[in-house]
């Protein structure tokens, strides 16, 4: 199974944000144990680096991203797909549209996100972390 981890779930894991941390950690651990193939979109990394700037030093943020990239593979979207995303009116948030394009690039089974509603027009099914863990147990 192949999944793309949305930025918010990666942040839940990295910051141990409650009450979301346990589900995010369980998913990341399944990726680390190679039970599933986990990916993160290229553009999520600078977003995470920027978001954490007020609470973590530059060195700490770099270390966090380095460790994340040991577990999750980084994926991107082609030039053509990014241009298509720019033109798309289906997503209200351009970043979510890029997440979908990155998920399509790797033929992901799911996008793991806490903001499922933002992906109602996604080509790749978006599920919340808890729902994904339930699917994994089937």
Q: What is the pLDDT of residues 5-23, one digit of tens each?
A: 999 999 999 999 999 999 9
Q: What is the pLDDT of residues 87-137, one digit of tens each?
A: 888 888 999 999 999 999 999 999 999 999 999 999 999 999 999 999 998
Comparing 3 with 137, the larger pLDDT belongs to 3
List, as own/partner pairs, every contact residues 75-84 make where C-beta atoms lie below 8 angstroms and the sequence separation is at least 24, other chains included: 75/4, 75/39, 75/40, 75/41, 75/42, 75/102, 75/105, 75/106, 76/41, 76/42, 76/43, 76/102, 76/105, 77/41, 77/101, 77/102, 77/104, 77/105, 78/105, 81/105
Percent over 70 (pLDDT), the chain: 100
Average pLDDT over the chain reads 96
In the chain the domains, ranked by start, together with CATH numbers, are: 2-137 (3.40.50.1010)
Three-class SS state of 57: coil
């Amino acid at each position: 199974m192949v999944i793309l981890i949305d930025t918010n779930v990666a942040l839940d894991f990295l910051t141990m944000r409650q009450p979301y941390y346990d589900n995010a950690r369980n998913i990341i651990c399944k990726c680390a144990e190679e039970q599933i193939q986990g990916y993160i979109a290229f553009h999520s990394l600078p977003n995470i680096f920027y978001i954490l700037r007020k609470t973590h030093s530059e060195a700490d943020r770099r270390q966090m991203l380095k460790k994340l990239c040991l577990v999750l593979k980084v994926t991107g979207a082609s030039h053509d797909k990014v241009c298509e995303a720019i033109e798309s009116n289906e997503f209200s948030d351009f970043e979510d549209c890029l997440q979908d394009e990155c998920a399509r690039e790797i033929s992901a089974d799911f996008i793991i996100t806490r903001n499922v509603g933002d992906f109602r027009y996604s080509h790749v099914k978006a599920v919340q972390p808890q729902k994904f863990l339930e699917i994994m147990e089937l």
